[in-house]
Amino acid sequence: MNQKQVSRRIACIGVGNLGRAWAAIFARAGHEVALYDSAAGAVTAALPAIESTLAAMAEADLVGDTKAVMARIRPCETLAEALVGVDYIQESVIEDVEVKRSVFRMLDDQAPPGAVIASSVSSIPPSEFMANLKGGDRCIVAHPVNPPHLIPVVEVMLGPATSEETYESCCALLSGVGQVPVRLNKEIFGYVLNRLQFALINEALHLVDGGYVSAKDVDKIVKYGLGRRWAFMGPFETNHLNASGGIEEYYSKFQGAIGGIMKELFLEPHSLSPELISRLAKEMEQTTPVADVPVRQEWRDRQLMALTGHFGDMRPTQE
């Protein structure tokens, strides 16, 4: 362990897929993890599952000494035992608003002062179970993506009373263990990742249902098309690099086609107004000024070539 870093005491509450993955993530990074689940026998059953996850990660060279990692995970029989001395709690119980409410009340009552309480909740807005808590300032959403130990992003959404200090502390911990925390500024139904996912899926269902394309071919179009770019750029950077004049030129040039699709699909289609395009362009400029687009396009192509090499495809059968 890096001498400058500190081992922290973390409690993982709930040992389903997410809770087990969190335990592996935190313990791998050198933190002490207390593991608790209210279902009898669940924690004992979770240990070999975590061990087998770590063994697979070790094979892929993503973890070193799995025994040392497992030694940092301590199964607990009571919630009180799990919470002793912890400074961060990751809650991953079932997705039910009543359960979340009662678990958060318990955690807030029993956790040491100052400990951050983060929820893995994937769809219930934090205001529905973090409101009216004594320690609302230390409660926050840290929503991972399945499987969390292999997908970096974590949506961090502030609850009704979350303090900036809690936000900073949560993000620092997540970044330190190798995840990528992203801030959602305001509460929104479904959060961001799933809203984006199901915007695409809804249109995919429409196209499959209408007989335009098979579900299998939708998968191919994303896997061999959109996904290859989105694996290392986001959708906006993809558009920014799709014209030498950047996103502003791209959206202006293809306004007819893009706007046409949006108008056909959405209740609130975006007009791609000059104001919005210019705001986006300004944000994209912070990372890649238009003058640097050609150089960044070369970077994009090198990334795509590396992915082609990784997947071993795009080879002619007759060279």
Within residues 7-36, the interface with its own copies by CB under 8 A covers 28-30
Cβ atoms of 43 and 76 within 8 Å: the answer is yes
What tokens does 233 get? Answer: 């750029």
By beta-carbon proximity to its own copies, the closer residue of 131 and 262 is 262
Closest CA to 240 of 227, 253, 256: 253
Tell me which of 127, 270, 278, 289 binds its own copies, using CB under 8 A. Answer: 270
Does 223 bind its own copies (CB under 8 A)? Our answer is yes
First to last CA, the chain: 49
For 214, which DSSP code? -
Cβ atoms of 307 and 228 within 8 Å: the answer is yes
Instruction: Name the amino acid, one letter, at 315.
Output: R
**226-245 residues near its own copies, rule: CB under 8 A:** 226-237, 239, 242
Q: What is the x/- site pattern for its own copies, positions 75-114, by CB under 8 A?
A: ----------------------------------------
- Euclidean distance between CA atoms 264 and 177, whole angstroms: 43
Q: Which stretch binds its own copies (CB under 8 A): 37-45, 79-87, 162-170, 187-195?
A: 187-195
In the complex, least distance from residue 183 CB atom to its own copies, rounded to whole angstroms: 7
Closest CA to 115 of 83, 88, 79: 88
**116-135 residues near its own copies, rule: CB under 8 A:** 122-123
**39-78 residues near its own copies, rule: CB under 8 A:** 56-57, 60-64
By beta-carbon proximity to its own copies, the closer residue of 106 and 182 is 182
Instruction: Name the amino acid, one letter, at 97.
Output: V
Q: Tell me, by CB under 8 A, how many residues bind its own copies.
A: 126
